[in-house]
Amino acid sequence: MSKITLELPQTLLETIQQQASASDKTVSEYVADLIGEKLPSPVTKTSQFDSFHQEVAAFENLKPDLLKRYAGQFVAIYQGQVVGYGEDETVLFRQMLARYGAVPCYIEKVAPETPRRARMPSIRVKAV
């Protein structure tokens, strides 16, 4: 375990000590538990990748309704729901970043041909 030193107002320290005592914990245990509850769980690259693909799938599932309501606009999909929309993709991206932070969020223009798909053929070069 690592150590850290904090400067706290006396009243806050006393409150923490009282709460720790009431919980039958040391101050360190109490503060660690309190901070652990407030922090988001660690996100791995794999879970971000999976989450992003879930947002893309949600876009596909919602697409018939999206076409009726948001045709021609960009929508932001987060946790399977539309959480924002607008005419400008960059503005929408900045809004989502400010609101949710760096989370897997899918932003796409609502049009019959979206999401855009690309085929990436590969070339094999044979050494002679």
pLDDT at 101: 86
Q: What's the pLDDT at 45?
A: 57
Neighbouring CB atoms inside 10 A of 15's CB total 12
Rounded Cα distance, 12 and 107, in Å: 43
* Range 84-105 average pLDDT: 92
Burial class (CB in 10 A: 0-12, 13-18, 19+), 94: exposed
Q: pTM for the full model?
A: 0.55
Task: Find where tokens 């897997």 sit.
Answer: 104
Give the pLDDT score at 8.
87
The per-residue pLDDT for 4 is 84
